Amino acid sequence: MASLNRVFLIGNLTRDPELRYVPSGAAVATFTIAVNRVYKNQAGEKKEQASFIRVVVWGRIAEVCGEYLSKGSPAFVEGRLQSREWETPEGQKRSVLEVVADRVQFLRAGE
């Protein structure tokens, strides 16, 4: 059976990227990107809906994102979806669906 897991997003960062280094020394940056959808409701009124998507970037790209991106920066993100589950110290189960980016292109405002 064929399978495809590829995501392309254009949006604006909701806050500055968080850059850290894991014990192996690899850089990892996380940020959230807001992607807007414009549509008309049944009454014909124009509406806008925002989706907030968590993005994870590894390696040199993570370092570059941490250096050059900031809150409000427009960016094109290409990667794959990944779901993760974990348990909190209090025993609560948590899960997240995020984009693991292998390409982040910085855009100029208005693009």
pLDDT tens figures, 34-45 = 999 999 999 999
pLDDT above 70 covers what percent of the chain? 97
pLDDT at residue 81 tops 60: yes
Contact 12, 74 (CB under 8 A): yes
- Ramachandran angles phi, psi of 59, nearest 5°: 75, -150
pLDDT above 90 covers what percent of the chain? 93
Q: In the chain, where do the E strands start and end?
A: 7-13, 18-21, 27-40, 46-58, 74-87, 93-106
Contact 49, 35 (CB under 8 A): no
- pLDDT band at 110; cut points 50, 70, 90: low
The per-residue pLDDT for 111 is 56
Please state the rounded mean pLDDT for residues 2-14. Answer: 96
| pTM across the whole model | 0.86
pLDDT at residue 1 tops 90: no
- Please choose, from the candidates 77, 59, 61, 63, the residue with its C-alpha nearest in 3D space to the C-alpha of residue 13: 77
The per-residue pLDDT for 108 is 83
Residue with structure tokens 């250096």? 67
